[in-house]
C-alpha cells in the first residue's frame, strides 16, 4: 500500500502527487493524506482515496509499505513521523526558508532545479538523490478555444485572480492585442471576464494564444512546450520561491 503526504491548502501538492503516481506507479491505487479543500473534488483525486488525520496513524492503520512525501521533508509543520519498516520517498521541489527537522528518505526525487544549499541538504538525508521528470495522467481532449483566447488558470484566492486579469490586460495593451480573457478556476471571476471550471486545465494550453498565470511548480512544468506564449506573474509564498522559478523559466529557450 502506498500512502502519500500532500499537505497544503492549495491545489499544487495534489496535482504533483497525481503526476508522480502516474509516472512511477502507473496509477496504482494509493491513499493520499491531505487537508486541502480541493481534495474533495473527484476530478483532482482521480482513482485515489483521500483521508485526513495524522500521516503516522494512517501508515499504521493501513500497514503501508511506502510513504511518498510531497515537498516538505519534515512535514509542513515538522510533524512528520514514520514508523519503522516503511520505505520513504521525497518529491523535492524548490523550498525557501524551510527549517523543520527532516526524516531520512530511501529515495529523493528532485522534480525541478534546486538551489545549491537545498541540493546539498538532500544528500544529507538520503543516499539516493536523482532527478525525475513528471508526466501528468492522460485527460479527455478539450474543446478548442475560440481564436484569440488568453487563458488565465488559477485556483485562487480571488485577489490573485484579479491581479492576473489586470496583468493580462497590461500585456495585451503592450502587445497591441484585444484578446478574449478566459479564467479557468473553481472561483468565479468578475462578470466582464469569461469563466470555466475545468480540471485538469493543461489540455487547454495548446489552444490558447497566451497563458497568463502565477509561477507555481505545476503550471511552469506543464507550460514548458509552449514557453513563448506563457506570461508569468509570480506571487509571494511562505516556502515556494515563485520569483526564482519564473526567472529560470524565462531564461529557457
- On whether the CB atoms of residues 197 and 131 are closer than 8 A, the answer is no
- On whether the CB atoms of residues 184 and 201 are closer than 8 A, the answer is yes
pLDDT of residue 135: 97
Q: What is the pTM of this model?
A: 0.94
| Rg of the chain over all Cα atoms, to the nearest angstrom | 19
Query: Cis omega before residue 156 (within 30°)?
Result: no
pLDDT of residue 241: 92
pLDDT of residue 10: 85
pLDDT of residue 202: 96
Q: Other C-beta atoms within 10 Å of 104: how many? A: 13
pLDDT in tens, 77-114: 899 999 999 999 999 999 988 989 999 999 999 999 99
C-alpha cell at 27: 496509477
User: CA-CA distances (angstroms) from residue 69 to 5, 23, 85, 99, 185?
Assistant: 5, 15, 16, 16, 26
How does residue 144 score in pLDDT terms, banded at 50, 70 and 90? confident
pLDDT of residue 189: 95
pLDDT in tens, 205-234: 999 999 999 999 999 999 999 999 999 999
C-alpha cell at 79: 510533524
Question: Of the given ranges (8-12, 187-191, 197-201, 215-219), which has the lowest mean pLDDT?
Answer: 8-12
pLDDT of residue 4: 97
pLDDT of residue 141: 79
Half-sphere exposure of 211 (CA within 13 A, CB side): 26
Where would I find the H helices in the chain? 12-25, 42-45, 55-62, 116-125, 158-174, 217-222, 242-251
pLDDT of residue 140: 84
pLDDT over threshold 90, residue 166? yes
How does residue 142 score in pLDDT terms, banded at 50, 70 and 90? confident
pLDDT in tens, 40-57: 899 999 999 999 989 999
With the CA atoms of 209, 214, 220 and 225 taken in that order, what torsion angle do they form, in degrees rounded to the nearest 10?
0
pLDDT over threshold 90, residue 155? yes
- On whether the CB atoms of residues 3 and 62 are closer than 8 A, the answer is yes
How does residue 69 score in pLDDT terms, banded at 50, 70 and 90? very high
User: CA-CA distances (angstroms) from residue 251 to 213, 246, 247?
Assistant: 17, 9, 6
Question: Of the given ranges (14-18, 141-145, 190-194, 234-238), which has the lowest mean pLDDT?
Answer: 141-145
Q: Residue 51 is inside which H or E element, if any?
A: strand 49-51
- On whether the CB atoms of residues 3 and 33 are closer than 8 A, the answer is yes
How does residue 6 score in pLDDT terms, banded at 50, 70 and 90? very high
Domains of the chain: 2-131 (3.40.50.11190), 149-251 (3.40.50.2000)
In degrees and rounded to multiples of 5, residue 181 shows phi and psi of: -90, 130
pLDDT above 70 coverage of the chain, percent: 100
How many angstroms separate the CA atoms of 92 and 94, rounded? Answer: 7
Amino acid at each position: 500500500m502506498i500512502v502519500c503526504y500532500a499537505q497544503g491548502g492549495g491545489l499544487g501538492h495534489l496535482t504533483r502527487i497525481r503526476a508522480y503516481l502516474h509516472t512511477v506507479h502507473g496509477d496504482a491505487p494509493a491513499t493520499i493524506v491531505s487537508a486541502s479543500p480541493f481534495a474533495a473534488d473527484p476530478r483532482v483525486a482521480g482513482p485515489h482515496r483521500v483521508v485526513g488525520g495524522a500521516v503516522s496513524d494512517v501508515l499504521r492503520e493501513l500497514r503501508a509499505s511506502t510513504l511518498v512525501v510531497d515537498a516538505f521533508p519534515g512535514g509542513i509543520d515538522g510533524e512528520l513521523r514514520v514508523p519503522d519498516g516503511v520505505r520513504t520517498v521525497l518529491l523535492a521541489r524548490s523550498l525557501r526558508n524551510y527549517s523543520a527537522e527532516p526524516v531520512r528518505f530511501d529515495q529523493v526525487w528532485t522534480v525541478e532545479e534546486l538551489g545549491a544549499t537545498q541540493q546539498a541538504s538532500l544528500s544529507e538525508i538520503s543516499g539516493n538523490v536523482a532527478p525525475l521528470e513528471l508526466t501528468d495522467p492522460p485527460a479527455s481532449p478539450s474543446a478548442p478555444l475560440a481564436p484569440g483566447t488568453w487563458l488565465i488558470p488559477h485556483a485562487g484566492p480571488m485577489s490573485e485572480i484579479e491581479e492576473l486579469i489586470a496583468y493580462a490586460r497590461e500585456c495585451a495593451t503592450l502587445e497591441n492585442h484585444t484578446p478574449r480573457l478566459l479564467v479557468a478556476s473553481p472561483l468565479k471571476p468578475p462578470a466582464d471576464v469569461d469563466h470555466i471550471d475545468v480540471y485538469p486545465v493543461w489540455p487547454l494550453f495548446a489552444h490558447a494564444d497566451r497563458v497568463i498565470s502565477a509561477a507555481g511548480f505545476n503550471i511552469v512544468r506543464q507550460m514548458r512546450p509552449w514557453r513563448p506564449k506563457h506570461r508569468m506573474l509570480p506571487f509571494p509564498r511562505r516556502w515556494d520561491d515563485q520569483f526564482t522559478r519564473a526567472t529560470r523559466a524565462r531564461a529557457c529557450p
